[in-house]
Amino acid sequence: MNGIFFALLGASLATALAGFGSAKGVGGAAQAAMGVLSEDSSQFGKMLVLTLLPGTQGLYGFIVSFLILVSGGVLGGDMPTVGQGLAYLAASLAIGIGGMVSGFAQGRAAVSGIALSAKDSSNFSKAMVSITLVEIYALLAFIVSLLVVITIPSLNI
C-alpha cells in the first residue's frame, strides 16, 4: 500500500482552499473597485493593483500542489509511503487553511484600501502597505508548506 491517495488529497486541498480564499478576496475587492471605476475610470491601474493582491494565496497553493505532485510520485518517480502521503496532506493544510483565511482577510483589507484610495488617490501607497501586511501570513504558511514538502521524500515514515 502506498500513500498516493493522501498526497493527491493534499495537493487538491492546497489548491482548493487557498484558491477559495483568493477568489473570495479578489471578488470582494473587484466589486468595490467597479464601484470606484463607475465614477472615475482613470483610477483603473490603482484599482487593478489593489484588487489583485488577494490573488497570491491561490498561486501559493498551486505551487505547493505542483510540488506535491512532482515529489509525491504522481508525475513520475517513487510512490510515497502511507506515512509520506499523510505528511504531504499535513503540509498542504498550512497553505490551504492559511491561504484561505489570509485571502479572506486580505480581500477585506483591499476593499477598505480601495475606499480610502477612492476618496483621496494620494492615500494609495498607505492602502498598499496595509493590504500587503496581510500577505506576510500567507507567505509564512507557504514557506512552512514548501519546507515540509521538500523534506518529505527523505523521511523514512
pLDDT means per 10 residues, the chain with 157 residues, are 91 97 97 94 94 95 96 84 95 97 96 93 92 94 96 89
In angstroms, the CA 153 to CA 157 distance is: 9
In angstroms, the CA 22 to CA 8 distance is: 21
CATH code assigned at 58 = 1.20.120.610
Query: What pLDDT is stored for residue 50 in this prediction?
Result: 95
Is the pTM higher than 0.85?
yes
Query: What pLDDT is stored for residue 67 in this prediction?
Result: 95
- Count: domains in the chain: 1
Query: What pLDDT is stored for residue 135 in this prediction?
Result: 93
Task: Tell me which residue range forms the domain holding 15.
Answer: 4-154
Cα first-last separation, the chain: 13
Closest CA to 28 of 45, 53, 56, 46: 53
Query: What pLDDT is stored for residue 96 in this prediction?
Result: 97
